[in-house]
Amino acid sequence: MLSLDKLKSTGKKATRDGFGAGLKAAGDKHDNVVMLTADLRGSMKSEDFINTYPDRFIQVGISEANMMGIASGLATGGKIPVTTTFANFSTGRVYDQIRQSIAYSDKNVKICASHAGLTLGEDGATHQILEDIGMMRMLPGMTVINPCDYNQTAAAVQAIVEHHGPVYLRFGRPGWPVFIPEDTKFEIGKALPLSEGTDVTIFATGHLVWKAVEAARQLEEEGISVDLINIHTIKPLDEEAVIASAKKTGAVVTCEEHNKYGGLGSAIAECLSKHAPTPQEYVATDDTFGESGTADQLLAKYGLDTPDVVAAVKRVLKRK
């Protein structure tokens, strides 16, 4: 069982680097893993895989729709295609191609998306998708995963390759604290408890898990006991874990680098409104596009920083 004192940052590494490491390991184990990219191989940090398995690497050029179709065909022929590009071009750009040729057709395609959310920084709103979890979550049969650090991303890649069915794996650009112990088991669809508490539950996904850890430390110091749960798999949601914690604490905060509509907060609210109605506060973007800036500036400006998590907890405790 993890706890706050075990969650120490061992330095910063990008989750996309974790993707690259995980892909190489998955490729070593499974010779039907094939990587595709749309003119962004450098950004995907997968040179290890590409150099070791050049025959299992496909460069499609800047043609994401084509990439999704080719992936569907490769899957039809028994391969495990891993598509790679930025999160916006992995989802919004190609939604119908994914919907028809992959999701509706039950294809075993792994859609791996870097540069999700605000933290890609200076490129700005055209690239900062904050709606992708929602879009992908609405597709029947799609598994949606947003790992929180390098280690978890690497482990997630292995797990999705061994899971049969379409998956959306979302990760990011910047260096980020590595704090999930390397030997932590990654199970698709299983919530990962990070700290046990009784006053409030924080459900967090992706980069914001680290912010939630920092917030939980502050709150514990103030005598507020936090049940901190990492929801790396947003779909299928670990409803049992969500309901149990909400019933125990009676107050919920959700944290994600995504719009407040459609993402983790929505998934939790949908579950709890049916099974255990609980006051909930959202740490998420407030139905807005992003903008250029550094990752830290943007997280602060758009209300996704540690103080925002602390404030959300205090708000929800008043509603208990």
Partner 1 sequence: MADIQELKKIASQVRRDIIREVYLSQSGHPGGALGNTDLLVALYFEVMKHDPSFNMEAQGEDVFFLSNGHISPVFYSVLARSGYFPKEELKTFREIDSRLQGHPTTHEGLPGVRVASGSLGQGVSVAIGMALSKKMNGDDRTVFVLTGDGEQQEGQIWEAALFAPHNKVDNLVLIIDDNGQQIDGPTQEVLELGSFADKYKAFGWDIMRMNGNDMEETVKVLKEAAAKRNGKPTCIVMDTEMGMGVDFMVGTHHWHGKAPDKEQAHTALDQLEETLGDFAAEGI
Ligand X SMILES: Cc1ncc(C[n+]2csc(CCOP(=O)(O)OP(=O)(O)O)c2C)c(N)n1
Residue 56 is which amino acid?
Answer: R
Among 10, 32, 39, 138, which residue interacts with ligand X (rule: CB under 6 A)?
39
- Binding span for ligand X by CB under 6 A among 3-11, 34-42, 97-105, 111-119: 34-42
Identify which of 235, 305, 243 has the alpha carbon closest to the alpha carbon of residue 227: 243
Judged by phi (left if over 0) then psi (alpha if -120 to 50, else beta), residue 129 lies in beta
> Alpha carbon 314 to chain centroid distance?
25
Residue 124 interacting with ligand X (CB under 6 A): no
Q: DSSP letter at 100?
A: I
Residue 293 site contact among partner 1, ligand X, none (CB < 5 to 8 Å, cut-off depends on kind):
partner 1
Q: Binding-site residue total for partner 1 (CB under 8 A)?
A: 31
Residue 62 interacting with ligand X (CB under 6 A): yes
Identify which of 265, 262, 301 has the alpha carbon closest to the alpha carbon of residue 283: 265
Among 2, 138, 276, 289, which residue interacts with partner 1 (rule: CB under 8 A)?
289
> Alpha carbon 197 to chain centroid distance?
24
Q: Are 281 and 300 in contact (CB under 8 A)?
A: no
Residue 125 site contact among ligand X, partner 1, none (CB < 5 to 8 Å, cut-off depends on kind):
partner 1
Neighbouring-strand partners of residue 170: 113
- Here the tokens at position 162 are 């061994």
Least separation in angstroms between CB 62 and partner 1: 4
Question: In terms of CB distance, is 94 or 200 closer to partner 1?
Answer: 94
Residue 276 site contact among partner 1, ligand X, none (CB < 5 to 8 Å, cut-off depends on kind):
none
Active-site residue, 47 included: no
Residue 51 interacting with partner 1 (CB under 8 A): no
Least separation in angstroms between CB 53 and partner 1: 17
Q: Binding-site residue total for ligand X (CB under 6 A)?
A: 6
| Secondary structure element (H or E) that encloses residue 256, with its range | strand 252-259
* Calpha distance 150→20 (Å, rounded): 10
Residue 93 interacting with ligand X (CB under 6 A): yes
Dihedral of CA atoms 231, 237, 239, 240 in degrees, nearest 10, equals: -70
Point out which residues bind ligand X (CB under 6 A). 38-40, 62, 89, 93
Question: Which residues does the annotation mark as catalytic?
Answer: 64
Point out which residues bind partner 1 (CB under 8 A). 37, 39-43, 59-63, 65-66, 88-89, 93, 121-127, 289, 291-294, 297-298, 301
